[in-house]
Structure 1
């Protein structure tokens, strides 16, 4: 499949969700630059949804963000699935495929993204699986920092663990800014300390999303609400640290009027244009 896309690098994106297809197809030029898809939700899909994917892929570059590879899990990687993902990435000329730095399966799917222990053993285990995945995919993989609510054994902090995985696997990082904030509140650390500790040359994209304020000390990463001002501010700091990277606005349910999503995308564009200055939106 050959696609013709603008030569301007894509800067802001939305997730291709079935509940947004009508709005995405009717969107005006400049509302967003790229679409992110979970390949396992679209591989082999036909009918009206398959036609919509093909139409949108002709108009916009795609980025892929996986949900079920279980990079940190104990069960062998699903190599058959990885070959299917490679074919999907090749067909749609996808430049970036990312997955979660977590695990979600053992003998069966656990339907959640579970945190890894921050240990040397875990570094070696997940890095080897990332290298295996990259070999099959024939391209670099980016891993995303995840939100977590229970902390298994932590012999090192999150940034040290993440850097160790990135170095040993020789892979990239998709930085989820909302997850950094959520974890900082839930586990009592300064989010800027984590940002400043991450090696900047590895960051190739960012996510930003809304969350639910359960209490002052418990935040839940939902992707079902507008982005909070404190997270916009942290995104600005992330741009200052890592440069302006392609940034996805994550919204998975509880969709507002499409104009509200476009307004959030404009906030991302403004922060990018400011080059990561430390202002509030």
Structure 2
């Protein structure tokens, strides 16, 4: 994938636009869990879309930080799906979403030394099963029980110990910086450039002055675009995806946001 590629999360509301090739994106991102169970016409549509756009996968249920065993059958299904649709990138969340069953939320892993070692071992298991590097996203979180490490230290140590890659979500950095009182620019400075594969950008909701919620249901704030600009300047341009999960605006508005990302990328080429 080109470093200056721009993508959009593919949701059901956008299927017709994707089939028509009307989205001003280079790649589309899908959650494999939303496609693996299906056969027939739904996968035929995805194949048509794959003929127009490069596809990437961003998973929802690997639960890399869980105490539950990694699902070998799920990893096998993901690997087959990636091969079937010639998808090179599979990313997940640096979080957990299961405990004796699915919890249907992305919960923060404790920022501890033991958690680093535990998660790193599970990353290696997943990578061995998939036969490729796992790409993990820095997540938004709203509580941090008994931390031994800062969020930045935890992320960097997991990346190093697990020898995996990073999906840099600058909106999550921005939201967390407000909720946990740190400098988002210093956070960006502290990340390892060589591990960043691609990135996310999204909208959020400002619940209170000191509580922002990562929603993916609104336009991207100017402050987040500014942080993205800074990240490119610090780490170089990387493929960047716009996330929008609900409250969809017109396709024209979505394309305007995609083209704004392209314009920011162009300033760093």
Instruction: Calculate the TM-score normalised by the size of structure 2.
Output: 0.97
**Post-superposition CA distance 1:29-68 (Å, at most 9, x none):** x711001010011113234432221100122111100000
Q: Which runs of 5+ in 1 are unaligned?
A: 1-6, 277-281
2: CA distance, partners of 1:116 / 1:170: 18
SS of equivalent to 1:86: helix
Whether the 8 Å contact between 1:174 and 1:204 is mirrored in structure 2 is yes
Superposition map of 1:105-184 within 5 A: 105-184=98-177
Superposition map of 1:259-278 within 5 A: 259-275=252-268
Name the Cα RMSD after superposition: 1.4
Query: What is the match of residue 49 of structure 2?
Result: 56
Q: Which runs of 5+ in 2 are unaligned?
A: none
1:17 equivalent to 2:29? Answer no
Give the number of the structure with larger relative contact order, counting CA–CA contacts within 8 Å between residues 6 or more apart: 2
Whether the 8 Å contact between 2:10 and 2:28 is mirrored in structure 1 is yes
SS of equivalent to 1:59: coil
SS of equivalent to 2:51: helix
Whether the 8 Å contact between 2:4 and 2:238 is mirrored in structure 1 is no
Whether the 8 Å contact between 1:10 and 1:34 is mirrored in structure 2 is no
State the 4+ residue runs in structure 1 displaced beyond 4 angstroms: 7-10
2: CA distance, partners of 1:53 / 1:140: 24
SS of equivalent to 2:201: strand
Whether the 8 Å contact between 2:7 and 2:29 is mirrored in structure 1 is yes
1: CA distance, partners of 2:150 / 2:42: 42
